[in-house]
C-alpha cells in the first residue's frame, strides 16, 4: 500500500512509522523549492544581462554586420596586447626571481663587509705605525725638552722607515679640529719640527689620513702628527660597492611597487587600446555597413520594379566596385527592359499582322472574280449601266490591289527575321551602302509599296556620306542593318520631296539639275561602339510625334504603312543599340541617331555563357539563356 505525500513523495507500505519516501513510478520527482527558486533567479539574471548587452550593442552598433566587424577589429587588437601583457608579466616575474635572489644579496653584503674589514685593517695599521713612532724614547725626550736639533735628527732617521708617510710633524700642543677655519694657521704656529716627502697627497690617486699621538703623559703637551697616504682606488671601490649594494636592497624592497607600476602602465595601455580599437571598429564598420545598407535599400526599391534608383559611388574598395557595378547593372536592366518591352510589343503587332494578312487575303480573290464575272456576262446595250460596271470593276481592282499590297506588308512584317550578329567594319559597310543605294529597295515592305520604292526614282536630292577612313569594328547583321540605312535615307528623301511638292511655289515639273534638298549620312566612333547619324534639311519631326514615330502603323505620309521605322527600331534593338529622333543641328531638318554597342554585345553574350558555366560547376542552378 502506497501513501502519497506532497511534492510527489510517497511512503512505502511497510508502516507509517518508517516514513521512507519512495517515488511513484509514473510521476517525475519534483525538485525542491529552493532549487526551483535558484533556477528562476538565474533565468531572470540571464534575461536581464542579455537585454542589457543587446541594448548596449544596439546603441553603438546598428546591425549584425557592424557588430561582427567591430568585434573582429576589437579582438584582433586586444588578443596581441593581452598576450604581450601576459608574456611581459611572466618575464618580469622570472627576471625578478633571478636578480633579486636572497643568496645574491647575502654575497653582496659579504663583499662589502670584506672591503670594510680591509679598510679598517689599513687604518689600524697606520695608527699602529703612529703609535710605534710616538713610542721612540729619543723622540719623546727631545720633544719634552724642546731640543729642536735632536728632533730634526730623529725625524730624519724615522721618516724613511715608513713608506706610507706623506709628512710627520712634532707640535708643542694638540692642533685644532681639521674643519676649523684657523686650522692651518694654528698648525703652522704649533709646529716645532717637520719632515715630508717633498710633495703633498695626490687627491686623484691617493687619500690621506692624519693620526695624532701624544709624546708625553702631560695633557696639552707635545704631540706627534703623522699624515699617511693610501691608494684611492680601494676606498673608491668600497664606496661604489656599498652604493650598489644599497641600491640593490632598495630595489629588492620596492620591486613589488615597481611590478605594480609596470602592470598598471600595461593595463592603462590595454584599456586605451581597447577603447581606441572599439572606436576604430565602430568607425570602420559603420562606414562599411552604411554602404551595405544603401545597397540593401536600393535593392528593395528595385524589387518594387523601380530601376531609376542609383547608389552613391564613394571610396575605392570592393564595395565601391560593387556600387559601380550595381548602378551599371541597373542602367543595363532599364535598357534591357525597354528593349524587351518594345520587342514584345512588336511581337504582338507581328502576330496581329499575320492574322490580319490571313483574314484579308482569303476574300480578295473571290471578290475580284465575282466583279469581273458580272462585268463580262453583261451583254446589254445600256450605256449608263455599262459605264457603271466599268467604273465598279476599276475601283474594285484598284482597292483589291491596295489590299494585296497591305497584305504583303503585313506578311513581310510578320516574317521579319531575327538579327544574326557578326564582326564587321562599319566604314566598309557604309561605303557598300553608298555604292548600292540607288538600286536598293526594302523587300520586306511588299512589292509596289511606296516605302519600297527604289531611291533612284527620287532625283534631285543630294545624298552625302561622311565615313571615317579608319576601321570601326562593330557586331552587325549586314542585311538587316542595310534595311535600316535604306529606310532612313528613303524617309529623308521622301520627306524632302513631299515638302517641296506642297510648297506654294512648286510646279508640276522641276528645272533640270535643280537640287531639292540634302541628306547627310555620318558615322563616328563612340566610346567602344559607333554612332550613325542621318540628317536632312526637310520639314523635320514635330515634338508631339517623336514619342510615337517608332510605333507600328503610325505614319505621317499619305501613302505610307507606318511599318518602316518600327522595323528600323526592332533591328537596332536586336543589335543591342538605341535609336532616337531629334532635330538636325547641321541641316535643320530631322536627325535620326543610331548608337551601336560595338563588339561589347558579343563579349556580354560570351561572358554570360561563361558565367552560367561557372555557376553550374559551383552547383548553382541557372535558367536557359535568353
| Closest-CA residue to 291 (of 337, 323, 247, 334) | 323
Write the pLDDT tens digit of every residue in 396-405.
888 888 777 7
Residue-wise over 333-346: b if at least 16 C-beta within 10 A, else e?
eebeeebeebbeeb
pLDDT at 35: 45
| Closest-CA residue to 187 (of 164, 210, 159) | 210
Q: CA-to-CA distance for 289 and 225, rounded, in angstroms?
A: 94
Q: CA-to-CA distance for 112 and 249, rounded, in angstroms?
A: 13
Q: CA-to-CA distance for 177 and 179, rounded, in angstroms?
A: 6
Is the pLDDT at 26 greater than 60? The verdict is no
- Helix (H) and strand (E) counts for the chain? 14, 14
Is the pLDDT at 611 greater than 50? The verdict is yes
C-alpha cell at position 235: 676606498
Q: Report the alpha-carbon angle 62-66-67, nearest 5.
A: 90
Please name the residues in contact with 155: beta carbons below 8 A apart, sequence gap of 6 or more.
139, 168, 170, 193, 194, 195
Which run of H or of E encompasses 313? none
Q: Is 570 exposed, middle or buried (0-12, 13-18, 19+ CB in 10 A)?
A: buried
Predicted structure pTM score: 0.51
DSSP of 222-289, one letter per residue? -EEEEEEEEEHHHHHHHHHHHHHHHHHHHHHHHHHHHHHHHHHHHHHHHHHHHHHHHHHHHHHHHHHH
C-alpha cell at position 437: 543605294
pLDDT at 24: 38
Residue 115 and residue 237 in contact, taking contact as beta carbons nearer than 8 Å: yes
194: β partners: 169
Is the pLDDT at 457 greater than 50? The verdict is no
pLDDT-derived band of residue 428, with 50, 70 and 90 as boundaries? very high
pLDDT at 325: 86
169: β partners: 194, 225
Q: Which residue has the cell 719623546?
A: 140
Name the residue with higher pLDDT: 622 or 584.
Answer: 584
Our measurement of the distance from residue 158's CA atom to the centroid of its chain's CA atoms, rounded to an integer in Å, reads: 97
DSSP of 196-213, one letter per residue? E-SS---TTTEEEEEEEE
Write the pLDDT tens digit of every residue in 319-362.
888 888 888 888 878 877 888 888 888 777 777 777 777 677 77
Q: CA-to-CA distance for 247 and 430, rounded, in angstroms?
A: 100
Name the residue with higher pLDDT: 467 or 44.
Answer: 467
Question: Helix/strand/coil (H, E, C) string of 315-330?
Answer: CCCHHHHHHHHHHHHH
Q: CA-to-CA distance for 212 and 169, rounded, in angstroms?
A: 10
Mean confidence (pLDDT) of the chain: 76
| Closest-CA residue to 519 (of 548, 491, 549) | 491
pLDDT-derived band of residue 256, with 50, 70 and 90 as boundaries? low
Write the pLDDT tens digit of every residue in 162-211.
888 888 888 888 888 888 888 888 888 888 888 888 888 777 788 888 88
- C-alpha to C-alpha distances, 67 to 43, 71, 274, 290, nearest whole angstrom: 25, 6, 15, 13
209: β partners: 228
Is the pLDDT at 156 greater than 70? The verdict is yes
Residue 477 and residue 421 in contact, taking contact as beta carbons nearer than 8 Å: yes
pLDDT at 559: 64
DSSP code at position 159:
G
pLDDT at 25: 41
Average pLDDT on 17-21 reads 40
Is the pLDDT at 213 greater than 60? The verdict is yes
CB atoms < 10 A from the CB of 362, how many?
A: 10
DSSP code at position 535:
E
DSSP code at position 509:
S
Q: How do 461-466 and 517-526 pair as beta strands?
A: parallel
Is the pLDDT at 19 greater than 70? The verdict is no
Q: Is 572 exposed, middle or buried (0-12, 13-18, 19+ CB in 10 A)?
A: buried
Q: Which of 12-21, 32-41, 86-95 has the weakest average pLDDT?
A: 12-21
Which run of H or of E encompasses 520? strand 517-526
Please name the residues in contact with 456: beta carbons below 8 A apart, sequence gap of 6 or more.
438, 439
pLDDT at 485: 93
Q: CA-to-CA distance for 229 and 235, rounded, in angstroms?
A: 12
DSSP code at position 431:
H
pLDDT at 40: 55
pLDDT-derived band of residue 30, with 50, 70 and 90 as boundaries? very low
Our measurement of the distance from residue 357's CA atom to the centroid of its chain's CA atoms, rounded to an integer in Å, reads: 61
pLDDT at 47: 62
Q: Which residue has the cell 529623308?
A: 492
Q: Where are the beta strands (DSSP E) in 364-437?
A: 422-425
Residue 360 and residue 446 in contact, taking contact as beta carbons nearer than 8 Å: no
C-alpha cell at position 516: 531639292
Q: CA-to-CA distance for 363 and 373, rounded, in angstroms?
A: 16
DSSP code at position 68:
H
Residue 10 and residue 27 in contact, taking contact as beta carbons nearer than 8 Å: no
Amino acid at each position: 500500500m502506497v501513501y502519497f505525500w506532497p511534492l510527489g513523495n510517497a511512503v512505502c507500505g511497510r508502516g507509517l512509522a518508517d516514513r521512507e519516501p519512495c517515488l511513484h513510478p509514473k510521476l517525475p520527482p519534483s525538485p525542491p523549492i529552493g532549487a526551483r527558486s535558484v533556477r528562476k533567479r538565474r533565468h531572470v539574471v540571464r534575461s536581464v544581462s542579455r537585454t542589457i548587452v543587446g541594448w548596449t550593442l544596439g546603441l553603438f552598433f546598428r546591425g549584425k554586420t557592424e557588430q561582427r566587424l567591430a568585434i573582429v577589429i576589437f579582438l584582433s587588437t586586444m588578443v596581441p596586447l593581452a598576450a604581450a601583457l601576459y608574456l611581459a608579466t611572466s618575464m618580469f616575474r622570472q627576471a625578478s626571481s633571478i636578480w633579486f635572489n636572497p643568496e645574491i644579496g647575502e654575497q653582496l653584503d659579504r663583499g662589502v663587509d670584506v672591503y670594510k674589514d680591509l679598510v679598517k685593517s689599513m687604518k689600524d695599521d697606520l695608527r699602529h705605525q703612529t703609535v710605534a713612532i710616538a713610542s721612540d724614547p729619543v723622540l719623546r725626550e727631545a720633544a719634552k725638552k724642546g731640543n729642536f736639533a735632536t728632533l730634526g735628527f730623529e725625524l730624519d732617521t724615522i721618516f724613511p722607515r715608513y713608506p706610507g708617510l706623506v709628512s710627520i710633524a712634532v707640535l708643542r700642543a694638540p692642533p685644532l679640529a681639521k674643519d676649523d677655519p684657523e686650522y692651518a694657521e694654528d698648525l703652522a704656529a704649533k709646529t716645532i719640527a717637520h719632515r715630508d716627502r717633498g710633495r703633498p697627497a695626490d687627491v686623484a690617486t691617493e687619500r690621506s689620513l692624519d693620526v695624532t699621538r701624544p709624546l708625553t703623559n702631560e695633557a696639552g703637551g707635545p704631540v706627534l702628527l703623522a699624515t699617511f697616504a693610501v691608494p684611492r682606488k680601494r676606498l673608491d671601490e668600497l664606496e661604489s660597492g656599498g652604493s650598489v649594494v644599497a641600491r640593490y636592497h632598495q630595489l629588492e624592497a620596492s620591486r613589488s611597487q615597481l611590478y605594480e607600476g609596470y602592470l598598471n602602465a600595461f593595463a592603462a595601455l590595454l584599456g586605451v587600446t581597447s577603447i581606441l580599437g572599439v572606436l576604430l571598429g565602430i568607425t570602420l564598420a559603420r562606414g562599411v555597413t552604411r554602404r551595405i545598407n544603401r545597397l540593401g535599400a536600393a535593392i528593395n526599391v528595385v524589387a518594387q520594379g523601380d530601376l531609376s534608383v542609383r547608389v552613391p559611388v564613394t571610396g575605392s574598395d570592393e564595395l565601391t566596385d560593387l556600387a559601380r557595378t550595381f548602378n551599371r547593372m541597373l542602367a543595363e536592366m532599364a535598357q534591357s527592359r525597354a528593349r524587351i518591352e518594345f520587342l514584345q510589343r512588336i511581337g504582338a503587332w507581328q502576330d496581329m499582322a499575320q492574322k490580319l494578312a490571313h483574314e484579308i487575303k482569303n476574300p480578295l480573290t473571290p471578290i475580284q472574280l465575282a466583279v469581273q464575272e458580272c462585268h463580262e456576262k453583261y451583254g446589254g446595250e445600256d450605256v449608263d449601266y455599262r459605264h457603271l460596271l466599268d467604273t465598279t470593276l476599276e475601283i474594285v481592282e484598284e482597292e483589291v490591289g491596295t489590299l494585296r499590297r497591305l497584305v504583303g506588308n503585313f506578311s513581310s512584317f510578320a516574317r521579319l527575321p531575327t538579327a544574326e550578329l557578326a564582326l564587321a567594319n562599319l566604314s566598309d559597310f557604309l561605303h557598300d551602302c553608298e555604292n548600292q543605294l540607288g538600286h536598293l529597295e526594302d523587300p520586306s515592305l511588299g512589292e509596289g509599296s511606296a516605302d519600297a520604292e527604289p531611291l533612284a526614282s527620287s532625283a534631285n536630292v543630294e545624298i552625302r556620306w561622311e565615313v571615317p577612313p579608319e576601321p570601326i569594328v562593330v557586331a552587325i547583321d549586314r542585311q538587316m542593318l542595310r534595311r535600316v540605312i535604306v529606310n532612313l535615307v528613303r524617309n529623308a528623301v521622301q520627306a524632302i520631296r513631299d515638302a517641296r511638292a506642297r510648297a506654294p511655289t512648286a510646279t508640276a515639273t522641276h528645272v533640270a539639275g535643280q537640287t531639292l534638298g540634302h541628306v547627310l549620312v555620318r558615322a563616328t566612333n563612340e566610346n567602344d561602339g559607333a554612332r550613325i547619324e542621318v540628317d536632312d534639311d526637310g520639314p523635320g519631326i514635330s515634338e508631339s510625334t517623336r514619342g510615337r514615330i517608332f510605333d507600328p502603323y503610325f505614319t505621317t505620309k499619305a501613302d505610307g504603312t507606318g511599318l518602316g521605322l518600327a522595323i528600323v527600331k526592332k533591328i537596332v534593338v536586336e543589335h543591342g543599340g538605341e535609336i532616337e529622333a531629334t532635330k538636325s543641328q547641321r541641316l535643320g531638318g530631322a536627325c535620326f541617331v543610331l548608337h551601336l554597342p560595338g563588339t561589347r554585345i558579343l563579349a556580354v553574350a560570351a561572358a554570360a555563357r561563361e558565367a552560367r558555366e561557372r555557376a553550374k560547376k559551383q552547383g548553382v542552378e541557372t535558367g536557359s539563356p535568353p
